[in-house]
Amino acid sequence: MICTKRIKEKNFQENGGKVLKNQRVRIFSEAALVKATNNYADDRKLGEGGFGSVYKGVLTDNTVVAVKKSKGVDKAQMNAEFQKEMSIVSQVNYRNVHIHDKGSRILASWTNRLRVASAAALALDYLHSLADPPVIHGDVKSVNILLDNNYTAKVADFGASVLMSPGQTNILATKIQGTLGYLDPEYLMTGILTVQSDVYSFGVVLVELLTGEIPNSISKSGEKRNVIQHFISALENNHVFKILDFQTADEGEMDEIEAVAELAKRCLNSMGVNRPTMKEVSDELAKMKALHQKSWAQQNSEETDYDVTIFLHECKSSHEPIPDCDVIADRELH
């Protein structure tokens, strides 16, 4: 028993346990994680990255978590990356920066797509403007925006993130990290990661929400194409509605889609200085979302009033009196 305890303690220390004890994180045993993921079953796998795979886990108290299981890479490098990610995540405390399960029918309507875009932008704005210290996410992409059972967007995976000093807006990276197709071209050329690099990547995500296509996807003819260039070309030629992969409900939604498309184009500017800040992006999407909800509420209110008017007319025009007709109608109205 003493030997087993010593082996466990040695393993704990070698894997960064001493560092983790000083962070605001909960530490689990290997057995607990195996049980939570059903022994890392294939149907629990959520995704895969450079250092490992991510699985859905359910704890004994029914809390849903994401469990990252490392690949057989260099142990020292793995520990350094893991400790770096934990040090960043432990300092982030915000309701939209949390890991949950994926949703399924979320992209069926523009309402939900706008909701996802607004929530993700709000989270990134928090990282840039309100987190202490500020954080550049470094790997903003659709697979890192997870959804809970209420279809609320959560920004995840801080493996490529960096902490900044107050007032700092960029950092010279020792190596390029991120995902091709989402990476800021300015960052690729200079090696300087900035808050505007996240803005570019978020612009790519907006394009995905509009078109349903991932960067560098295969066209219907089987040819590779640059989705971003295709999107900008469609926007400039007033063909943006031809490349959407969902149905719009009314003219109001079409106006919103055009506004989001223009916002995405601004985020995708080749020069970071010409892109909007994440706060500007978040504010614009939040305003759009609020107007959308107000319009939706008004439409539903008008439909209810119309239904009640017809009901009253039918009751009062009947040849035979209907008891408590007005009372029923009034109750229906409320």
44-98 per-position pLDDT tens digit: 888 776 667 888 899 998 888 888 887 765 666 666 666 666 666 655 554 554 6
User: Do residues 173 and 191 make contact, with C-beta atoms less than 8 angstroms apart?
Assistant: yes
Would 95 be classed as within a structural domain? no
Identify whether residues 129 and 186 lie together within a single domain. Answer: yes
- The per-residue pLDDT for range 154-180, each reduced to its tens digit, is 788 877 888 887 777 788 887 888 888
Task: For residue 120, give both structure tokens.
Answer: 């993700």
Q: What DSSP letter does each residue of 113-133 carry, written as one string?
A: HHHHHHHHHHHHHIIIIISSS
Contacts of 188 (CB under 8 A, 6+ apart): 176
167 & 287 share domain: yes
69 marked as binding residue? yes
CATH number at residue 206: 1.10.510.10
- Coil, strand or helix: which one is 223? coil
pLDDT tens profile 216-256: 766 556 666 788 998 999 999 988 888 887 777 677 888 99
Q: 43, 101, 139, 198: which is the annotated catalytic residue? A: 139
Identify whether residues 171 and 158 lie together within a single domain. yes
Of 90, 113, 136, the last residue of a domain is 90
- The last residue of one of the domains, among 66, 90, 114, is 90
Q: What is the CATH number of the domain that holds 18?
A: 3.30.200.20
Domain membership of residue 256 as a residue range: 102-301
* Assigned domain for 192 exists: yes
pTM of the model: 0.67
To the nearest whole number, what is the mean pLDDT of the chain? 77
Question: What pLDDT does residue 153 have?
Answer: 76
Looking at the fold, whether 273 and 327 belong to one and the same domain comes out as no
For residue 97, tell me if it sits in a domain: no
Of 212 and 333, more confident? 212
CA distances from 128 to 58, 139, 144, 161, 187 (A): 31, 14, 17, 11, 17
In a domain, 32, yes or no: yes
pLDDT of residue 282 exceeding 80: yes
* Same domain as 139, residue 83: no
The last residue of a domain, from among 65, 90, 115? 90
Q: Identify the pLDDT of residue 188.
A: 92
Pairing of strands 45-48, 52-58: antiparallel
Known catalytic membership, residue 139: yes
Residues 16 and 106 occupy one common structural domain = no
